[in-house]
Structure 1
Amino acid sequence: MGGCISSNVSSCSSGSYEDGKSSSSCCSGMINRGRRSSSSSSRTFSDHAVALQRLLSIPNRIFMNGKSRSSCIFTQQGRKGINQDAMIVWEDFMANDVTFCGVFDGHGPHGHLVAQKVRDILPLLLVSFLNSYQTKEVEESGTRDEAGAENEGSVEDKTPYSSWKDAFLKSYKAMDQELRSQPKLDGFCSGSTAVTIVKQGSNLFIGNIGDSRAIMATKDNNDVLKAIQLTVDLKPDLPIEAERIKRLKGRVFALQDEPEVSRVWLPFDDAPGLAMARAFGDFCLKDYGVISVPEFAHRTLTDRDQFIVMASDGIWDVLSNEEVIEIISTVPVRASAARVLVESAAREWKLKYPTSKMDDCAVVCLFLDGKMDSASEYNEQGFSSSAIQSNYSGAPMQSDDGQTVEPYLQRNNTVRSAEENNSFRRLPVTVQSILNEDQHWSGLDGVTRVNSIVQLPRFSGERPIPCSGGARRG
């Protein structure tokens, strides 16, 4: 998928970090510091910089094509240049029964760098803020106990839902601030989506911005698999999203040659034309209604729930939720499920849109029973340590590869039934940084289908956009 394009964006390189401790001691140290006190943002980001140095050696964290104990992941580059998709599965995330999964779809000239940075830092932020919240609740509970107050509604009642909700909202906000502070990462006209899931026992916590999507396969009363959409594609034509953007002087309209695709534009120029209402980065539009506040949801898993599929819009542009569930459920070996789904999407791109450039695809398949194939079954499918990495093109890169990356935005289908909406415990999010405290915005106030397959326009040369401090009125 794609986002906005700037005609004057300098090349950038990913930040380097000084050598630190081993992965286990480093991450453990960061978590323990979060439990002792609520540190400042600068100290938190310093901790993350140290932890990032050793992330690659964490045994239960995968971000290349392959499998883990209960999941498989796969990404394939499209035909638009560098692969801007990133993905991650982190088992034993904080505890043995906790798994973190995420798919991140970059857009703009440096979207691949933004997606990789979010993939690496966001889970660490989530841990830090969760521990800070729980530490605060324990301290407040102890104060109430000492004062002889009632202990009802203390930590046990407020967690895990409230603690995870608080951690998701704060970590997404801090992630955007971290991107803005990166001197070597230009996020002015580049950004990334994020669909993230934390599975803690039977609890599923979901945070989402942009148009990457998560669905779940579950059995109905007749033991027939059906698809449940876990996230909403947060597009500018959702009524509540459009209202917020217009209230902050951003403009939402579609081009004449693609009347079905609503985009976000600056108030003083027909640029950049971002086809999503929420994203990390894209700082040229952050003063005009594009936000990084996630749509948060919680779901309690049951024995009928089978597996979860998270993917970038390169999958959803050509396959429906039901088709994805059918493909995954019929693969002979679970370890190949993500790869088979990407290959199926590639065939559909050729059949449905033969004159269009195929988008990047990234898929995470999480099997809720925690079971994966045996090593012999896995090897029979042609997987090996070298094959696992052969199609991976999302490794950290120092700069663009010399190509002019001009992202496109394609078709997305957003469908949610009233029954599925009611099955969620979902709270609207308050955007305190730009709106009144009592004003809430929820993407569930409206859904629609959004299609796009054309190149985005460049910034106008007549009205140059300032390159620092965000876009301002000309």
Structure 2
Amino acid sequence: MGSCLSTESRSPVLNSPGGRKRKNSRKKLGSRNSSFESKREEQLYRIPGRMFLNGASDVASIFTQQGKKGTNQDAMIVWENFASRTDTIFCGVFDGHGPYGHMVAKRVRDSLPLKLCANWEVNLKGDGSLGETNLNGTGSMNLESTSFLASNEESRAVDVEGTENHENMFQILKESFLKAYKVMDRELKLYTTIDCFCSGTTAVTLIKQGDNLVISNVGDSRAVMGTRDQDGHLTALQLTVDLKPNLPAEAERIRKCKGRVFALRDEPDVARVWLPNNDSPGLAMARAFGDFCLKDFGLISVPEVSHRRLTEKDEFVVLASDGIWDVLSNKEVVDIVVAAPARSYAARALVESAVRAWKCKYPTSKVDDCAVVCLFFKSNDLSSASAIKSDEKIVSSEERVVDDNNEGSSEPLGLNRSGTVRNDGDKLGNECKDEEDEADEDDSLLYSDPGKDWSALEGVSRVNTLLTLPRFVLGGGDKPAAGAAKAHK
């Protein structure tokens, strides 16, 4: 995006022998890097138990669908027998943004688990040398790939649960997550094939080992658990906080680093991060991989890491991008998963319900990309779980997606909307219930009311993650301008 400096100015002139040799050497280096990446991807695709495309296994269901805004920038992964441990599963959802967001999301999806695995092994052995070695760009991928692929051939004898108590297990994994995220972000900056200056991705990931669940989060993707209360009613428990600039602690950090936080007048509920002396980029989250234009001004990639000890009351966990949470509440998501006819269909049912909700609640918006991972904790069939009592009447997906239950965004259990959608669409209410059966997937304006003032950015009421060139009053500090910015993908 114009931020990377080229080394061509230091090269010898093209008509000299040195110039031709340097040019050819660069081509050969690029060819070697491409070959390495291809082989690396091929090795990853062949790993048993690693699932990243739409599908399902005995314990998980994953599904993603492109929205109406361009290339699908969401990515997801479920990795069973992670780190060659039969009781361990890694899951993740990544929501990219910016011109190269789709590439950043996929790269983090492929590389982050390897880094986490490598750092986990190092921390178990009490040796921190590999964590520093990982900072050396491409070489780190060689070390990680070699370490992981070798582990597939012979199982490790280390068993965390058998040798450490649960608290130590969490501390080891927390340190591993923190190191892996740090290395991943630094490595993104070194990539020459992906421009991460104004592109990035969220990441909500977890490791389940036995009855331990460790969750890490960067950005506004979310993890929600379906669990039972004391009366046996199925409830939704939010496990992560949407890390947005409207959180006081996040805004304070950004402002201390000379970044600016404010919302545009046309979208007063959406706080954004801005450069100190430039009217860009207007990022709607406070933490992310990439986005190096803001890394010196308060944006960080340090994850929030938490631990939960699973009990018999816990049924499943849902990881999803904001394309789901923008239109469905936590409770609605849990109910949709429970009402799915089979486990293998749960993630797809959730995405389809979200798409219908987009058309009903925000008819002038472009449907966002959606990605969902559903991880089930028990081996019994999902149909038996659907008989569990619920605080709310379990209705069909078509009826459920139009419920409007707004909550706050600063606490883990108090957020049903991700906060990146304007409230204008909430006025539709019950109108969607009578009209949803007539929905046309290719007609985003089918339910629009010509007499309703949507007050939208260029006719789009769904707020974009990234903006550029907003108009604001110079010298006004964090105050937005009177004019509205134009949104882009």
Q: Aligned pair 1:110/2:100, yes or no?
A: yes
Q: Counterpart in 2 of 1:252?
A: 261
Q: Aligned pair 1:292/2:292, yes or no?
A: no
Shift of 1:51: 4.8
Q: Counterpart in 2 of 1:76?
A: 65
Q: Aligned pair 1:156/2:164, yes or no?
A: yes
Shift of 1:222: 1.4
Shift of 1:459: 4.4
Shift of 1:299: 0.4
Report if aligned partners of 1:78, 1:360 keep a CA contact under 8 Å in 2: yes
- The residue type paired with residue 253 of structure 2 is R
Aligned pairs for 1:33-432 (under 5 A) are 51-94=40-83, 95-136=85-126, 156-157=164-165, 159-370=168-379, 415=409
Shift of 1:84: 0.1
Shift of 1:59: 1.7
- The residue type paired with residue 98 of structure 2 is G
What is the CA deviation profile of residues 234-255 of structure 1, one whole-angstrom value per residue up to 9, with x for unaligned ones?
Answer: 0001000000000000000011
Q: 1:98 to 1:106 in 2, by over 3 A?
A: same
Shift of 1:79: 0.2
CA distance in 1, matches of 2:304, 2:224: 15
Task: Give me the CA root mean square deviation.
Answer: 3.2
Q: 1:364 to 1:414 in 2, by over 3 A?
A: farther
Shift of 1:53: 3.9
TM-score by length of 1: 0.69
What is the CA deviation profile of residues 146-166 of structure 1, one whole-angstrom value per residue up to 9, with x for unaligned ones?
Answer: xxxxxxxxx735631111010
Report if aligned partners of 1:414, 1:449 keep a CA contact under 8 Å in 2: no
Shift of 1:68: 1.6
Q: 1:9 to 1:65 in 2, by over 3 A?
A: farther
What is the CA deviation profile of residues 340-363 of structure 1, one whole-angstrom value per residue up to 9, with x for unaligned ones?
Answer: 110000000000011100000000
Shift of 1:9: 9.8
- The residue type paired with residue 264 of structure 1 is V
CA distance in 2, matches of 1:332, 1:365: 14
CA distance in 1, matches of 2:281, 2:269: 17
Secondary structure of 1:284's aligned partner: coil
CA distance in 1, matches of 2:406, 2:186: 28
Q: 1:450 to 1:412 in 2, by over 3 A?
A: farther
Report if aligned partners of 2:241, 2:411 keep a CA contact under 8 Å in 1: no
CA distance in 1, matches of 2:112, 2:257: 27
Q: Counterpart in 2 of 1:470?
A: none
CA distance in 2, matches of 1:252, 1:340: 37
Q: 1:414 to 1:163 in 2, by over 3 A?
A: farther
Report if aligned partners of 2:122, 2:128 keep a CA contact under 8 Å in 1: no
Shift of 1:134: 1.1
Q: Counterpart in 1 of 2:468?
A: 458
Report if aligned partners of 2:3, 2:197 keep a CA contact under 8 Å in 1: no
Q: 1:305 to 1:250 in 2, by over 3 A?
A: same
What is the CA deviation profile of residues 10-31 of structure 1, one whole-angstrom value per residue up to 9, with x for unaligned ones?
Answer: 9xxx9985768xxxxxxxxxxx
Range moving further from structure 2, 363-372 or 260-269? 363-372
CA distance in 1, matches of 2:75, 2:113: 14
Secondary structure of 2:89's aligned partner: strand
Q: 1:458 to 1:415 in 2, by over 3 A?
A: closer
Secondary structure of 1:169's aligned partner: helix
Report if aligned partners of 1:262, 1:450 keep a CA contact under 8 Å in 2: no
- The residue type paired with residue 178 of structure 2 is L
Q: Quote the sequence identity (%).
A: 55
Unaligned runs of 5+ in 1: 1-5, 21-47, 140-154, 375-410, 422-443, 462-474
Q: How many residue pairs were aligned?
A: 351
Q: 1:357 to 1:247 in 2, by over 3 A?
A: same
What is the CA deviation profile of residues 256-298 of structure 1, one whole-angstrom value per residue up to 9, with x for unaligned ones?
Answer: 1111110000000110000000000000000000000000000
Report if aligned partners of 2:326, 2:419 keep a CA contact under 8 Å in 1: no
What is the CA deviation profile of residues 43-67 of structure 1, one whole-angstrom value per residue up to 9, with x for unaligned ones?
Answer: xxxxx99754400011200000001
Q: 1:116 to 1:156 in 2, by over 3 A?
A: same
Q: 1:99 to 1:370 in 2, by over 3 A?
A: farther
Shift of 1:457: 3.8
- The residue type paired with residue 346 of structure 2 is A
Q: 1:106 to 1:315 in 2, by over 3 A?
A: same
Secondary structure of 1:283's aligned partner: coil
CA distance in 1, matches of 2:237, 2:369: 24
What is the CA deviation profile of residues 96-116 of structure 1, one whole-angstrom value per residue up to 9, with x for unaligned ones?
Answer: 000000000000000000000
- The residue type paired with residue 136 of structure 1 is G
CA distance in 2, matches of 1:59, 1:363: 21
Range moving further from structure 2, 128-137 or 69-78? 128-137
Shift of 1:312: 0.2
- Tell me which of the two structures has the higher relative contact order, counting C-alpha pairs closer than 8 angstroms and 6 or more residues apart: 1
Report if aligned partners of 2:325, 2:418 keep a CA contact under 8 Å in 1: no
Q: 1:16 to 1:80 in 2, by over 3 A?
A: farther
Secondary structure of 1:159's aligned partner: helix
Report if aligned partners of 1:18, 1:53 keep a CA contact under 8 Å in 2: no
* Structure whose alpha-carbon radius of gyration is higher: 2
Shift of 1:451: 3.6
Secondary structure of 1:339's aligned partner: helix
